[in-house]
Structure 1
Amino acid sequence: MALPTLGLDPGSILGLLLIQLLLLLPPEATTTMTMTGTGGQEPIPRVKYHIGDARRALSFFHQEGLQDFDILLLSGDGDTLYVGAREAILALDIRDPGVLRLRNMIHWPASNQKKSECAFKMRSNETQCFNFIRVLVSFNATHLYACGTFAFSPACTFIELQDSNLLPISEDKVVEGKGQSPFDPAHKHTAVLVDGTLYSGTMNNFLGNEPILLRTLGPQPVLKTDTFLRWLRYDASFVAAIPSTQVVYFFFEETAIEFDFFEKLHTSRVARVCKDDVGGEKLLQKKWTTFLKAQLLCAQPGQLPFNVIRHAVLLPADPPAVARVYAVFTSQWQVGGTRSSAVCAFSLRDFEQVFKGKYKELNKETSRWTTYRGPTITPRPGSCSMGPPSDKALTFMKDHFLMDEQVVGTPVLVKSGVEYTQLAVETAQGLEGREHLVMYLGTASGALHKAVVSEDNGAHLVEEIQLLPGQEPVRNLHLDASQGAVFVGSSAGVWRIPRANCSVYESCVDCILARDPHCAWDPQTQVCRFLSAPNLSSWKQDMERGNPGWACANGTRGRSYRPQSRPQIIKEVLAVPNSILELPCPHLSALASYHWSHRPATIQETSTTVYNGSLLLMPRDGIGGLYQCVATENGFSYPVVSYWVDSQDQPLALDPELTGIPRERVKVPLTRVNGGAALADQRSYWPHFLAVTVLLALVLSGALIVLLASPLGALRARGKVQGCETLPTRKKDPLSSREQHLQPHKEARTSARNVDADNNHLGPEVA
């Protein structure tokens, strides 16, 4: 691109030079006239928020001296959130949508004796030897049941409630919690209370190599898995427990035992135990007699499976048999140096069919797991039936606890570069009457994603909220539909996040393109509102297509919905000679592409460039007029912002087509390049200019060094060769030897004169 200089003063030339140098910056800093926001088919968050962003109202609770707010429990009336933290349990009043208030708090620290024993066993007295609350469930209307690590000596207790307040814990009510809470706070665990009975999955010893499924409390006998039979691998890691009609499902991850072609292959499992299991009379006494497990498979066709499960939740349905389980998976293998995640859906019917299918058995001769093809035993081993099973069935169960078939899930969301850790799901009914799956996903980097899954168009990410700095993970999620909020537990505190942010969409176009089933456009009030009822016929929403041209076709006064159409408001900007104007373009969506247009003529590339989305404009003849930043998303184009640039020396006549449009005089960032007073809110581009100048100087210096390196190398080689031919090979004293070493360098310096401009050696006569 040539730099025109005719008719320009030195200041204008310097300004144009600055624009030319900005074009040399890397693509991260400077873009072309068209800025694309999307790439590829993978969903990306349409809008991103950070902590402190006024567009996304959040509530945060923290308590000085407390940390590790890991366990969340909602009260039956929905007014109180109980939180299990490190050595404390809190009751938070959540009735006020904007504030989380502390109702009361009780401390439950580990005893000094237990802390001393913990430190003696080579555990950290600063990070591990505390009582981390790991189980917090509602036992009945008047009591909670809680368990903690208790400095690597798990303990449990009942906590009495009085008007939703927590009463202090008596030491005589604390009992051993082995098998209900892990020893190590870093170990994963799960627990669920069903009909007054607690089902837990955790590590059962100090070393953390003895996983166990345990049933305690309630009227039924205590049962656990048999450690000697190795039903669970030593590294089993439990992530969820989900009750069903007759059984309880446990979801966990462990190294595979049935695959011998891959060392330490991780696999995701679902285990099943029957609620009416009473254990064996002679065999498997006080042990599960209905324990079965199967492999969970979450994979895309032709791709490596997502073999590490992180969390699982149940989405209830009517009838219960058609309910679905949604689980978050990551991969053992990193593709391209980054981890990826997937959410898969499983049907409870598929679970039932797999657990009614064939078994696997270990061939002791070949040490391989094969399909069991022996005779059928009646009643079926592992089935849920009243009364203790026969000894024959129990003998069979000892070795046939692994199912032959896999439970195959359907991927509903796949995202690379993100490691999801927590999941909460719900359904939302749109204006068209269809149910849409809404997922809230916590990440290992402290962010929260809101995803919507449609039947026809797959999944899309509505927003991303960065809650925590750095690599602090989201530790727990709890969705409260009655409060319309998602509660997030972290190491520092508890967040309350409204599940929808409709008010941020200031126009019908934005509201429709967001494709949030919780939001719809109200034409009467010209506001994007929370959809409280699906029968509002006058409201606008298009979840399937996201087409504002159709949904906003009835004369809304929001941002224009016709491509390249008449602006709704024009921002007037006064161009100052010998200056550079910056016209900002707000990026409302990461899914849109942006470009600038100019009326009445096209944009002159010699006087403009795009820097970080803003148009940098060098005022000159013919540069005035209407400038619009146009966004294109989902095949629909609309102006994001419109500027009318006018010159104080030569005012431009008003375009008749723009008559009647409201105008607003604004001051944009301005850089003066040749004296004079700048605007009050100017922003200097001299740091950018100096940085570009330094970079340009380094590039030119590097090129000059490369050009000079070749002739200098040839001269040194010629000098060394000449020195070897003239120096005699005789022994000298040290002083003479020094002169011998200096002689070739001297010849090399003098021989440099014997080279012409084309790097050709000249004879002595020519030299």
Structure 2
Amino acid sequence: MSPSNRPALLLGRLLLFVIPLGAGLVPRLTFRREGSSRIAASFQQRQIQNYDTFLLSKDGATLYVGARDAILALDVGTAHSIRLKHELSWSPPLMKKNQCVFKKKSNETECLNFIRILVQLNETHLYACGTFAFSPTCAYIALENFTLVLNAKGQPLLLEGKGLCPFDPQHRNTAILVDGELYAGTMNNFQGNEPIISRSLGQRSTLKTDSFLTWLNADATFVGSFNILTPSDEEKVYFFFEETATEFDFFEKLTVSRVARVCKNDVGGDRVLQKKWTTFLKAHLSCAEQGRFPYTVIRHVFALPQPQQETVFYGVFASQWQAGSLGGSAVCAFSLDAIQEAFEGKYKELNKDCSRWMTYNGPLLSPRPGTCSVGPSADKALTFMKEHFLMDERIAPVNNQPLLVKQDAKYTRIAVHETRDVLGIPYKVLFLGTGEGSLHKVVLAGSGAHIIEEIRLFETPAEPVRNLLLAPEKGVLYVGYSSGVLQVPVANCSTHATCPNCVLARDPYCAWDGESCRDIRDAEGSVGDWVQDVELGKPMPGCRRDHGRGRALPRRRNDSEGPLLKELSPPLNTIVRLTCPRTSALANYSWELPRIRMPGGLVTQDEEALVVIVQRETLGTYECWAAENGFRQPAARYQLHSPLYPDVLGGASGFSREGLQHGATPLGEPRSYWMQFVTVTVLLAMSLAVVLAFSLFTYHEKLKAKSKVEGCSAPETSQASGQEKVPLKGSQSPPQRSKFQKQGPFQEDANTSNSCCVQVERPTRDTDAENNRLPSSAPADGEDARGGVAVDKI
């Protein structure tokens, strides 16, 4: 509707009820997996739980999943589809379970086989390890028929898994296969207090950390391991873990995050550190916000190799002092250069006199201890390494601050992808799984982190995200949780139906091509003229369209001015709720009313809608506007009119009538209340009648009681015989009892304290009951008192 078509009385607009729904670092959009906006394929298999370990085949067509008592091969070659190809059951035998139960472990939750390692040895075999009822065991899997490799006796070929896989399924571990050798970090004993980093398989001898020298503290928890491709003589494997620090004087146990490295060409020592690492070093990772407690507990880490650039490690951290039930999380990035600089810096050493860790300032040997030199090291250098494995310098994050801090989220997993916008500028996109079962998509721009969207993966009760695997070539994420696997696209640009919304999303995958919001990776030609602003998210001037009303409004195909006008014709004196779809949590929403001044109480707003009492004064056009990042656009438009007042609103040609749909909900259908009125009236009349009758009855009883009291209030006298027994004047002698006093049942005993009235026949004179005397015309003493009243006190 253009301004010229509106009546003059509707030209005034009132900006009312401004509600900021988002401020700070919050997801701009929130979707549910079941909704049409974010379609995700899912897979679940009955009686299989704990989909914890993922391995994607080299061709990306098969996803191998290690679960509880089973290993699955899933077909993920088709978009938006996950199908089961093979299932391998691998449960511990009854004897192992009985031994596990005998050691006071649960037969239902612990004495099972949780697959913790799943790697591809070659084109024909996988290598898998599981907890196997607290007896770690490994086996080979033939891909041809997806079965366990058998030994000469026809039994599954089972290998010792101690030092590779944890005993307890609650203990976390990490493993990586490098050139046919397995590098693993895990717990090495049943008690769970001997962490170990080992190298096995292959042709070389097995190496491991020295537990006696406490290179790793007893509570170390591993979260990731990576092989960094560098020149062959400097190739290293990095392990990320958390443990209790011993180098700090603190009032309680302090948990710190660490990175350790070992060299691929390490062969161990000849006489010192035999079958032990000779290149093991570890350093402290610092993820801290200035003025706040540091985030000391690392939860997960992801390595992003970059062509012709250094590798960057992205870690999810939590604070051991974080208050609140959910806690908070931070994401920090560490460059490989910063890590290598720390490992090339000074060492720490334990001063045995004061049992404190101090900086080592002594001379260094050549070659430097811990370097990846070719051949065995000298015994002197190895002796030095036994006690100087901790580096002095802490590793600071990129830009000396976290990339992202969110106080109301508990991040459990992270995956990072680098993509380019329409101008070719690279951007990092973070995918963060939460402990509440959500997936956050974050873009790192020059202005800071921006949470593009949140996908709620599960209905209540929420389940934590247990694993994330990014397949950038396929453009999907594989999410593992306790009951299944999800396949989530990294982007769904069709969600943004207008040019402003496409730009406001700041999604580097999406841009406006002039007609719709599309994924730029699917573009066949040049995308240089597509509209996109990842850095600032400013729709103007890219989405500029000339309209008659100030700011440009979003354009849809077949829609000239944003959302359609919804014409409503509710009866008068009814209540209508006008809802405003709040799609963006970063927008401020406000209502514009038909008149500058509205009668009080007729228009109010609750948390969800504008509530309007339909009267002549409230008829007109209502618009809900969303203001975000300096851009305003209408989110909903309603027009209330009544056939009784056709002069209130002008014509509305060009707009569709859609009744009370699209968010306009009347509170109660129009109906007659005559029967209710009659019922209430009758009940009220009956109630009043009952109350009136009760009042009359009470008043009558009070009158009767008062009459009885008045009749008995005078002293009783005996019947007179001709004259009064007591003279009215002058005589002070006490009255005597009359011999004519009537005897009978009305007379009480003289000993009683009560008085009673004695009735006599044929009263001819009235007595003055108030003064207990006869009237002035009473006869004198000696006169015959027959027919008089005698009252005597008994």
With normalisation by structure 2, the TM-score equals: 0.77
CA contact (8 A) 1:575 1:648 kept: no
**CA distance 1:337–1:159, shift in 2 (3 Å):** closer
- 421, 431, 447: which one pairs with 1:430? 421
2:666 maps to 1:670 = yes
Counterpart of 2:146 in structure 1 is 166
Moved more, 250-259 or 429-438: 429-438
- Residue type matched to 1:234 in 2? A
SS in structure 2 at match of 1:550: coil
Q: How far apart are residue 665 of structure 1 and its match?
A: 4.0
SS at match of 2:667: strand
For the 8 Å contact 1:156–1:176, the answer to whether it is kept is yes
Corresponding position: 1:543 with 2:504: no
Number of positions where the alignment pairs a residue of Structure 1 with one of Structure 2? 639
Q: How does 1:464-613 map to 2 (within 5 A)?
A: 464-467=455-458, 469-524=460-515, 526-529=516-519, 531-533=521-523, 535-554=526-545, 561-562=552-553, 567-599=562-594, 601=596, 604-613=599-608
SS at match of 1:551: coil
> What secondary structure, in the 3-state scheme, does the structure 2 residue paired with 1:394 have?
helix
Residue 151 (structure 1) aligns with: 133
CA deviation map 1:33-84 (0-9, x unaligned): 2221113x3x111111234222221111000011000001100111010000
The yes-or-no answer on 1:371 pairing with 2:362 is no
Offset, 1:654: 5.1
Are 1:254 and 1:266, in contact at CA under 8 Å, matched by a contact in 2? yes
- 2:200 corresponds to which of 216, 224, 235: 216
State whether residues 114 and 151 of structure 1, in contact with CA within 8 Å, keep that contact through their aligned partners in structure 2: yes
> Aligned equivalents of 1:665 and 1:530: distance in 2?
39
Alpha-carbon offset, residue 318 of structure 1? 1.9
When Rg is computed on C-alpha atoms for both structures, the one with the higher figure is: 2
Specify the SS of the correspondent of 2:473: coil
Which 10-residue stretch deviates more, 344-353 or 616-625?
Answer: 616-625
Q: Quickly say closer, same or farther: Cα 1:469–1:73, change in 2 above 3 A.
A: farther
User: Deviation per CA, 1:711-733, whole angstroms, max 9, x where unpaired?
Assistant: xxxxxxxxxxxxxxxxxxxxxxx
Change (3 A) 1:598 1:494: same
Give the C-alpha shift of residue 391 in structure 1.
0.5
Q: Is the Cα contact below 8 Å between 2:513 and 2:530 reproduced in 1?
A: yes
Report which stretch shifted further, 258-267 or 339-348: 258-267
* 1:55 equivalent in structure 2: 37
Alignment of 1:167-566 (within 5 A): 167-170=147-150, 171-244=155-228, 245=230, 246-319=235-308, 322-335=310-323, 338-410=326-398, 411-467=402-458, 469-524=460-515, 526-529=516-519, 531-533=521-523, 535-554=526-545, 561-562=552-553
Q: Residues 66-105 of structure 1: matches in 2 within 5 Å?
A: 66-105=48-87
Is this contact kept in 1: 2:369–2:382, CA < 8 A?
yes
Task: Quote the residue 1:13 is aligned against.
Answer: none
* Structure 1 pair 115–336 and aligned structure 2 pair: CA distance change class (3 A): closer
- For 1:527 and 1:472, how far apart are their aligned partners in 2? 32
Deviations 1:611-659, CA, capped at 9 Å, x for gaps:
2331111011231221111111112111001111111321256557x65
CA distance 1:58–1:530, shift in 2 (3 Å): farther
**C-alpha distance in 1 between matches for 2:51 and 2:92:** 17
Alpha-carbon shift at residue 604 of structure 1 (Å)? 4.7
Q: Give secondary structure in 2 for the equivalent of 1:69.
A: coil
Q: Which residue does 2:46 correspond to in 1?
A: 64
CA distance in 1, matches of 2:491, 2:467: 19
Checking the alignment, whether the CA contact within 8 Å between 2:567 and 2:656 is kept in structure 1 is: no
Q: CA RMSD in A?
A: 2.3
3-state SS, counterpart of residue 137 of structure 1:
strand
Distance 1:51 1:427 in 2: 24
Give the equivalent residue in structure 2 for 1:756. none
- 1:596-616: CA deviations, max 9, x gaps? 112354555521112233111
In structure 1, what is the Cα distance between the partners aligned to 2:659 and 2:587? 28
Report the residue type matching 1:221 in the other structure.
S
**Separation (CA, whole Å) in 2 of partners of 1:563 and 1:536:** 21
Q: Indicate how the Cα distance of structure 1 residues 469 and 190 shifts in structure 2: closer, same or farther if over 3 A, else same.
A: farther
Give the counterpart letter for 1:36 in structure 2: P
Q: Counterpart of 2:616 in 1: which secondary structure?
A: coil
1:36 paired to 2:5 = no
Unaligned stretches of 5+ residues in structure 2: 1-15, 674-794
Q: In the TM superposition, what is the alpha-carbon distance from 1:338 to its structure 2 partner?
A: 4.5
Give the deviation of 1:562 after TM superposition.
4.0
Q: Is the 8 A contact 1:576 1:648 kept in 2?
A: no
Q: What's the offset of the Cα at 1:209?
A: 0.3
> Unaligned 5+ residue runs, structure 1?
1-31, 678-767
Which of 108, 118, 138 is the equivalent residue of 2:100?
118
Question: Residues 465-515 of structure 1: CA distance to partner in whole angstroms, max 9, x if unpaired?
Answer: 233633521110001112211000111000111111211111112111111
Over 3 Å counting, the alpha-carbon distance change for 1:522 and 1:555 in structure 2 is: farther
What are the equivalent positions in structure 2 for 1:634-713 lying under 5 Å apart? 634-652=629-647, 655=650, 660-661=654-655, 664-667=658-661, 668-672=664-668, 675-676=671-672
Q: Distance in 1 between matches of 2:84 and 2:513?
A: 37
Deviates more, 1:292-301 or 1:497-506: 497-506
SS in 2 for 1:622: helix
TM-score using structure 1 length = 0.80
Native 8 Å contact 1:341 1:415 kept in 2: yes
